[in-house]
Amino acid sequence: MQKGAILVLSGPSGAGKSTIINAASEQIGEYYFSISTTTRKPRTGEENGRDYFFVTKDAFEEDIKAGNFLEYAQVHGNYYGTSLKPVREALERGKLVIFDIDVQGHRLVRAKMNDITTSAFITPPSLDALEQRLRARCTDDEAVIVNRINNAKDEITAVGEYDFTIINDTVELAAKQFVIVAKAARLKQSTEDEEKFVTQWLANN
């Protein structure tokens, strides 16, 4: 049976993570996209339960207390978190679980589930290109864009913590690279599986 695996994608807001996942979705086989919970307001076109679970700060803090998050962080002044239960269920069903989370979230997932985790940092070719894309997306006002650009200057310094870097110059090429990374993520063996394999390999002589 195929084993579950985790693929963490990070990168500045506006890097093209959603665009690349959508462009590659038919070529990466069955996967489960982890829908995060957030206290930020929905953007035009975003749907509760599809893009995020949009909740109040109080509700989010209740979930923290109840231990419902695999990881959570404050990004751009809002809470964002990954619920543990659906992720655990998808892993048990052998799915590739894809996270779109920030660099703090990546560190927390590594600390808890390092041996089944592969990660990729996605970024436009330059800060200038990021700014142009955020403006072209037309979903955020000026103050939000400035905040996201400032955050991106910090986030890019964490690129070395990731297994792969995908530079999103053209969507076509970035999606091709993403397919390769997703296939590699599925091949990653947990420490437990490696130990079992060695035991069986030695026994069959």
Structure tokens at 110: 């590594």
Q: Of the candidates 116, 109, 156, which has an alpha carbon nearest to the alpha carbon of residue 15?
A: 156
Q: How far is the CB of 172 from ligand ADP (least distance, A)?
A: 8
Report the alpha-carbon angle 62-8-30, nearest 5. Answer: 100
Q: By rule CB under 6 A, what string of x and - marks binding of each residue 4-23 to ligand ADP? A: -------x-xxxxxxx----
4 vs 16, beta carbon nearer ligand 5GP: 16
Using CA atoms, how far residue 185 sits from 21, 60, 97, 139, 179, in Å, is 14, 30, 10, 32, 10
Q: Which of residues 112-141 bind ligand ADP (CB under 6 A)?
A: 133, 136-137
10 vs 177, beta carbon nearer ligand 5GP: 10
Q: Which stretch binds ligand ADP (CB under 6 A): 51-59, 111-119, 157-165, 166-174?
A: 166-174
10 vs 117, beta carbon nearer ligand 5GP: 10
**C-alpha 179, offset from chain centre:** 15
Which residue bears the tokens 């006002």? 141
DSSP state of 167: E
Give contact residues for ligand ADP (rule: CB under 6 A).
11, 13-19, 133, 136-137, 168, 170-171
